[in-house]
Structure 1
Amino acid sequence: MGALTPPSASAARPDSVQRGLDALVYDDGLPAALASVKDREGREGQTRNYTAGVADLATKAKVPADGQVRIGSNTKTFTAVVVLQLVGEGKVSLDAPVDTYLPGLVRGDGIDGRRITVRQLLQHTSGLPEYGDHLDDHAMQHQYFDPRDLLDIALQHKADFAPGTKWAYSNTNYVLAGLIVQKVTGRPLAEEMEQRIIKRIGLRRTYFPTPGDMTIREPHPKGYYQDAAGAPLRDFTKIDPSWGWAAGQLISTNSDVNRFFGALLSGRLLPAAQLKEMRTTVPVGHTGAGYGLKLMSRPLSCGGVYWGHGGDIPGYEVRGGVTDDGRAVSVAVTEIPPDAAVTERLEGVVDKALCR
């Protein structure tokens, strides 16, 4: 880190988004940053793509505009949309217990699928422990996990709290949501996402990697990972993403992420009743953010809120969202920021893009 040289001061003054990306690279030391910004009109030519840094620290290759990245927990919103589509079709009930669809599967210390509802899974109020806390870096990069393997890891640990009494983020919730989709439809989750979302709204550069597919198919910046503070960055681009599954396996681009959240908020993916459920939030911390059914609202410095989610997976972090009037931005960086202050500056780029 620190090897990159900022653009010449004599260059034309960049706009606030470019300045924000440049700062993430040249001040905060992230290898690369890329963004896609869509104006409210959404017409052809109204989307602008930005890049900063290098796609490869060894070769100093240029960052591909709107390159593919792993989008991490934005995958959860795709999963939630499929579940809510099934709710709209009368095949799933939000307030039914998990045992209705996966009888006897969810049992453990303080854990009982007869007392956890589908809504609590989607809203992270189930109390289910986080399986990811018990995976090491080697496993996350090289090991294949079946979704049931991930659930088994979680069920070896005590519940964090009684269902419905608190809020706590847990990937385990979305493994179960994905298993419910597969049980109800009789089809793989990836196929349901492909038919119900990806093809439906034309996400041409978004896909759910098949088992054993450790690469990123199209032009992309490499993702990097730091084992510990002060350790050198290592290439973490090629991984087996199965440990993320319904909670974090998708690959996409910033522009496709914008298209997805724009389609969702405009009612193209869900009936009005289910979209209203998705947008019904509980407070998260003291930031003014709210958490719905895998859709978050965050306040804007210029007033109002924007809706989205965000995601990280070793090698990449993505932040962004859309406003009710159709403005959209997605920003990706090629290393999970090393501290919360850098993440705040990343989210500040989102705010500037939506407020300008």
Structure 2
Amino acid sequence: MRGQTRQGLRRRRALSAAAALAIGVMTPGVLSAPQASAARQDSVQRSLNALVRDDGMPAALASVQDRNGRTRTYTAGVGDLATGAPAPVDGQVRIGSNTKTFVAVVVLQLVAERRVDLGASVDTYLPGLVRGEGIDGRRITVRQLLQQTSGLPNYSDYLGDDVRYYAPRELLATALQHPADFAPGTSWKYSNTNYVLAGLIVQKVTGRPLAEEIDRRVVRPAGLRHTYFPAPGDASIRESHPHGYYRESADAPLRDITEIDPSWGWAAGQMVSTGSDLNRFFSALLAGRLLPSAQLAQMRSTVPAEATFGPGARYGLGLVSRPLPCGGLSWGHGGSFPGYETRGGATDDGRAANVAVTMQLTDEAGRRNLERAVDTVLCR
């Protein structure tokens, strides 16, 4: 289903009750004190207020960077429904499939170093590992992994409700129990399995853990002070953060699922960051500070991806372009993880914005409203 794969990481059913605490019905429409007086005048604040008031989000956070690099942050709603604490300004959230862009940057750096070839087969780096019904790693290229054109089935559609630690190869094995969606290179379909394999290739080529390579090659060079790849078994969020919530049905109470083992996302969606750090990351990427020009051009070479990312959207190598209503394109990715949903983008002239809400979106209307909030920020 489209709702299970959009922006990546989405479980098909409820998380187990043991992993979540029922805390009752939220009270919408509460603003954090520093922003309340400006809400009447600021279109960004109004957009966040609407996400809380109209879409029932416990909290919404935004970070806005103008073309001169100046940043403003906004919040609306309640960051902890148990205590009533306001949403923390620029708090850390689980960024889901934004992780894919970090992984793609590392792979493309290895391409620039001539240690990985985009046209080479998966078997070149992981011989014999990828086999299944209609699946052969000798026929799937690294480029097809990064661009979601491999035809590999999406492992996260088949995990069920078991909340526990998953090793990367266990995630891959889950996918390989199912037939290919199409022959490699003949179509496009979003699959988290592609990025598990990309992460495994990074580890095989470098001989280092994926988390260390992302930190060494991307996080530190880009100056991301609040971004990290959680260690195995780390179910918490390190710094100030809004709590993330889950609702099993429209009339069910919200459950706090902030603390959860994120390993089932791994290279497809395990990372934690803030809105300001994501803006800094995508701005640095578009400005050519993380990749040589040849590899950045490859990353920005796109194919249609409207079925998952909406009208006019196109998918590059771990990077999504979307047309803005005021003209031009935004470049980013977005992410979905239990308890959190993020959308954002950056433009070639230096603007950037990221909006996060503290409940995973499962309906099309909610996702569109979140995307419109980002568009409002970038077009204001």
Give the TM interval when normalised to the shorter protein.
over 0.9
User: Given the alignment of the two structures, is residue 177 of structure 1 paired with residue 204 of structure 2, yes or no?
Assistant: no
Partner of 1:310: 334
Q: Secondary structure at the match of 2:278?
A: helix
Q: Distance in 1 between matches of 2:162 and 2:83?
A: 25
From 36, 56, 63, give the equivalent of 1:29.
56
Partner of 1:18: 45
Superposed, which structure 2 residues align to 1:67-146 within 5 Å?
A: 67-139=91-163, 143-146=164-167
Q: Distance in 2 between matches of 1:10 and 1:308?
A: 31
Partner of 2:5: none
Q: 1:57 deviation in Å? A: 1.3
The C-alpha deviation readout for 1:42-78, integer Å capped at 9, x for no partner, is 1xxx200000000111211111100000000000000
Which shows bigger deviation, 189-198 or 230-239?
Answer: 230-239
User: Given the alignment of the two structures, is residue 40 of structure 1 paired with residue 67 of structure 2, yes or no?
Assistant: yes
User: Given the alignment of the two structures, is residue 263 of structure 1 paired with residue 290 of structure 2, yes or no?
Assistant: no
Change (3 A) 1:211 1:6: closer
Partner of 1:336: 360
For the 8 Å contact 2:29–2:76, the answer to whether it is kept is no
Q: Secondary structure at the match of 1:73?
A: helix
Change (3 A) 1:181 1:11: closer
Q: Secondary structure at the match of 2:181?
A: coil
For the 8 Å contact 2:29–2:49, the answer to whether it is kept is no
From 48, 53, 59, give the equivalent of 2:83.
59
From 210, 221, 235, give the equivalent of 2:242.
221
The C-alpha deviation readout for 1:182-209, integer Å capped at 9, x for no partner, is 0000000000001001111110100110
1:205 maps to a residue whose letter is H
The C-alpha deviation readout for 1:118-140, integer Å capped at 9, x for no partner, is 0000000000001101112342x
Q: Distance in 2 between matches of 1:76 and 1:200?
A: 18
The C-alpha deviation readout for 1:164-197, integer Å capped at 9, x for no partner, is 0110000000000000000000000000001001
TM-score with structure 1 length normalisation?
Answer: 0.96
Superposed, which structure 2 residues align to 1:235-314 within 5 Å?
A: 235-285=256-306, 287-314=311-338
The C-alpha deviation readout for 1:212-249, integer Å capped at 9, x for no partner, is 10000101000011223432211110000000000000
Change (3 A) 1:145 1:253: same
For the 8 Å contact 2:103–2:214, the answer to whether it is kept is yes
Aligned CA RMSD, in angstroms, stands at 1.5
Change (3 A) 1:328 1:161: same
Q: 1:12 deviation in Å? A: 6.0
1:297 maps to a residue whose letter is S
Q: 1:2 deviation in Å? A: 5.7
Q: Distance in 2 between matches of 1:50 and 1:289?
A: 27
The C-alpha deviation readout for 1:127-172, integer Å capped at 9, x for no partner, is 0001101112342xxx001100000000011111110011000000
2:333 maps to a residue whose letter is H
User: Given the alignment of the two structures, is residue 232 of structure 1 paired with residue 253 of structure 2, yes or no?
Assistant: yes
Change (3 A) 1:10 1:94: closer
For the 8 Å contact 1:123–1:291, the answer to whether it is kept is yes
Q: Distance in 2 between matches of 1:194 and 1:3?
A: 38
Q: Secondary structure at the match of 2:356?
A: strand
Change (3 A) 1:23 1:12: closer
Q: Percent identity?
A: 70
For the 8 Å contact 1:30–1:337, the answer to whether it is kept is no
For the 8 Å contact 2:61–2:75, the answer to whether it is kept is yes
- Equivalent pairs counted in the alignment come to 350
TM-score with structure 2 length normalisation?
Answer: 0.90
Q: Secondary structure at the match of 2:354?
A: strand
Change (3 A) 1:2 1:127: same
Partner of 1:161: 182
Change (3 A) 1:4 1:102: same
Q: 1:82 deviation in Å? A: 0.2
Change (3 A) 1:212 1:12: closer
Q: Distance in 2 between matches of 1:4 and 1:307?
A: 31
Q: Secondary structure at the match of 2:341?
A: strand
The C-alpha deviation readout for 1:273-317, integer Å capped at 9, x for no partner, is 000000000012261111100111101111111100000100000
The C-alpha deviation readout for 1:19-63, integer Å capped at 9, x for no partner, is 000000011111000000000011xxx200000000111211111
Q: Distance in 1 between matches of 2:182 and 2:37?
A: 57
Q: Which runs of 5+ in 1 are unaligned?
A: none
